[in-house]
Amino acid sequence: MKRKSKFDPYINDIIYYLNLGYPVIRVAEQLDQYFDDIVDMSALYTFIRSRALKNTSVRKYRVPHCDNCEDCHEVINTNDEGIRMCYYCRLIPNSVITAPLWCPKRTKVERVS
């Protein structure tokens, strides 16, 4: 028997928001109304992956990149390696291909039809 998650009763809502192209953080904000506390985004992400639900936000939106961004600069760390540092005083991991989730430019994403 499969273990039930606290998100199972709201799976139709989650699928609806994912089909609208909402990123996981925005889906979590929408589900806050059903819970007494804040929805843990990592738990929601794990639930989405375990149920093989699809997040179409990557395909429906053109997300800004940090490359050629006037707010991002490459700096040399103590290991003499180049890393990107955002104007907002946050390090950008090398694994990030597009703009990080906290980037204010993500609010200006362009919808692809």
Q: With 80 as the cut, is the pLDDT of residue 82 above it?
A: no
Q: Are 69 and 87 in contact (CB under 8 A)?
A: no
Q: Are 12 and 37 in the same domain?
A: yes
Distance of CA 64 to the CA centre of its chain: 13
Residue 108 within a domain = no
The count of structural domains within the chain is 2
pLDDT in tens, 5-60: 889 899 899 888 887 778 888 888 889 888 888 888 888 888 888 888 876 555 55
pTM given for the model: 0.48
Q: Are 36 and 76 in the same domain?
A: no
Count of positions (residues) in the chain: 113
Query: What domain range includes position 77?
Result: 63-99
Residue 2 within a domain = no
| Mean pLDDT, rounded, of the chain | 75
Start-to-end CA distance of the chain, whole Å, equals: 41
Inter-CA distances, 44 with 6, 79, 110, Å: 9, 36, 25
